[in-house]
Structure 1
Amino acid sequence: MIGLGTYAFFWQHSERAGTPLSLAGAFAATRDLGVDLFQICDYAPLDTMSDAELSDAAAAARHLGLTIELGTKGVEPQHLRRYLELAEVFDAQLVRSMLYSPTSRPTLAEAEAQLRSVVGEYEASGVTLALETYEQVATRDLIGLVENVASDSVGICLDPGNIVARLEHPRDCVEQTAALVKNVHAKDFAFARQDGWVGFTYSGAPMGAGLHDYPHLLEKVRPRERGINEIVEHWLPWQGDAETTVHTEREWTRTTVDYLRSTT
C-alpha cells in the first residue's frame, strides 16, 4: 500500500511555514490524494499529547478511513512499550524505529538485549517493529541484529538513501536487506555541485528524477507482492521562502504518489 509520512509534510509542519499544518491537516491532505495510509514518524508533538488529544487524533484518522503506522527513535524497552501503547490507540500494526535515540546509543549487544526484552509483547500484539537503515549503523550490522533477534515481528525499514553517508551503495543495501524488509521509505535523492564547483550537496530530488533505482528495489524487495507498505518521504531543501517551499513539497508528494502508482 502507498502511504504518506510526516516527512512528506516536513516544511508544512515546521514553524517556518508560518501557520504549521496540524496532524489532522496532514491526514486530510493525505485523503485528498486518495491515499489510505499515513505514517506518523518522528513527529515530536505525539510524545507530549494528552490521552484525550491522542484519542482525538486516532478518531480523526479513522473518520477519514486512514490506516496509521507509527515511527520513533531508539530501542529502549520502556520507550518501545510506550509506542506499543500508542499503536493500540491508533490501531497501528507497525512501528518504525532506529537503534539510536537522542538519549541512547546502545552497542549491538545492548540493542539485541533490549529488543529481546520486548519482542514477545510486540508478537502478542500483532505489531511489527521495523528498524531503519541509516548512516549511523552499518547495514550488515543491522541485518545481523535482526537475524539474531529472530522474530517475524522484527524486521527492517528500508531507506537506501540514508546509507550513502556511510559510503554504502543504495543497490547493495536493497539487495542485502530484501528478505528482512517490513517497510519502505520511498524518496529520491541526488548530488548537486555547490556554488563555485567546490564540493557537492546530497539531498532530495523529485521521485524518478534522481539516483534512486526504484525499479530495482521493486524487483528485489517485491513490496506489493509481500504486502509491504511504501511510505512517501522527501529530502526537500528550503526553497528560499515559505510559499515556494510548501508548494514544492506538495508537488513532490503528488509526483511521488503518481510515480508509485505508475509502477503497479
Structure 2
Amino acid sequence: MIGLGTYAFFWQHSDLVDEPLSLVGAFEATKALGVDLFQICDYAPLEAMDDHELADADAAARDLGLTIELGTKGIEPPRLARFLDLAGLFGATLVRSMLYSPETRPSLTEAEEWLRAALPAYEASGIDLALETYEQVATTDLVALIERIGSPRLGVCLDPANVVARLERPRDCVEQTAPHVKNVHVKDFAFARQPGWVGFTYGGAAMGEGLHDYPHLLETVRPRERGVNEVVEHWLSWQGDAETTIRTEREWTRTTIEYLRSHS
C-alpha cells in the first residue's frame, strides 16, 4: 500500500509557515490525494498529546478510513512499550524506529538486550518493529542484529538514501536488507555542485529525477507482493519563502504518488 508520512509534510508542519498544518490536517490532505495510509513518524507533538487529544486523532483517522503506522527514534524498552500502547490505540500494525535516539546510543550488545526485552510484547500483539537503515549504523551490523534476534516481528524500514552518508551504496543496502524489509521510505536523492564547484550537496530530488533506482528496489524487495507498505517522504530544502516551499512540497508528494502508481 502507498502511504504518506509526516516527512511528506515537513515544512507544512513547521513553525516557519504562518499556519502550521495539524496532524488531522495532514490526515485530510492524505485522503484528498486518494491515499489510505499515514505514518506518524518522528512527530514530536504526538508524544505530548493527552488521552483526549490522542482519542480525537484516532477518531479522525478512522473517520477518514486511514490506516495508521507509527515512528519514533530509539529502542529503549520504555519507549518501545509506549509506542506499542500508541499502536494499540491507533490500530497500527507497525512501529518504525532507529537504534539511536537523541538521548541514547546503545552498543550493538546493548541494542540486542533492549530489543529482546521489548519484542515479546510486540510478538504477542502482532505488531511489527521496523528498524531504519541510516548512516549511524552499518547496514551489515543492522542486518546481523536482526538475524541474531530472529523475531518474526523484527525487521527493516528500508531507506537506502540514508546510508550514502557512510559511503554505502544504496543498491547494496537494498540487496542486503531485502529478506527483512517490513516498511519502505520512498524518496529520491541526488548530488548537486556547490557554488564555485567546491564540493557537493547531497539532498532530495523529485521522485524519478534523482539517483534512486526504485525499479531495482521493487524487483529486489517485492514490496507489493509481500504486503510491505511504501511511505512517501522528502528531503526538500527550504526554497527561500514559505509559499514556494509548501507548493514544491505538495508537488513532490503528487509526483511521488504518481510515480509509485505508474510502477506497479
TM over 0.5: yes
SS of structure 1 residue aligned to 2:16: helix
Distance 2:233 2:200 in 1: 22
SS of structure 1 residue aligned to 2:118: helix
The residue aligned with 2:2 is 2
- The amino acid of 1:229's aligned partner reads N
Per-residue Cα deviation, 1:145-192 (whole angstroms, up to 9, x for no partner): 111110110000000000000000000000000000000000000000
- The amino acid of 1:63's aligned partner reads D
- 1:28 has 2:28 as partner: yes
The CA deviation at 1:138 is 0.2
SS of structure 2 residue aligned to 1:17: coil
Task: Please show how residues 134-173 of structure 1 align to structure 2 within 5 Å.
Answer: 134-173=134-173
- 1:99 has 2:99 as partner: yes
The CA deviation at 1:95 is 0.1
Q: Structure 2: where are the runs of 5+ without partners?
A: none
The residue aligned with 1:211 is 211
- The amino acid of 2:50's aligned partner reads S
SS of structure 2 residue aligned to 1:100: coil
- The amino acid of 1:146's aligned partner reads I
The residue aligned with 1:60 is 60
SS of structure 2 residue aligned to 1:190: strand
The residue aligned with 2:69 is 69
The residue aligned with 1:90 is 90
SS of structure 1 residue aligned to 2:95: strand
Task: Please show how residues 173-252 of structure 1 align to structure 2 within 5 Å.
Answer: 173-252=173-252
- The amino acid of 1:148's aligned partner reads R
Aligned length: 264
Distance 1:67 1:212 in 2: 27
Distance 1:58 1:197 in 2: 49
SS of structure 1 residue aligned to 2:224: helix
Identity %: 73
Distance 1:102 1:238 in 2: 24
Distance 1:52 1:173 in 2: 41
SS of structure 2 residue aligned to 1:143: helix
Q: Structure 1: where are the runs of 5+ without partners?
A: none
The residue aligned with 1:13 is 13
Aligned CA RMSD, in angstroms, stands at 0.4
List structure 1 segments (4+ residues) > 6 angstroms apart after TM superposition: none
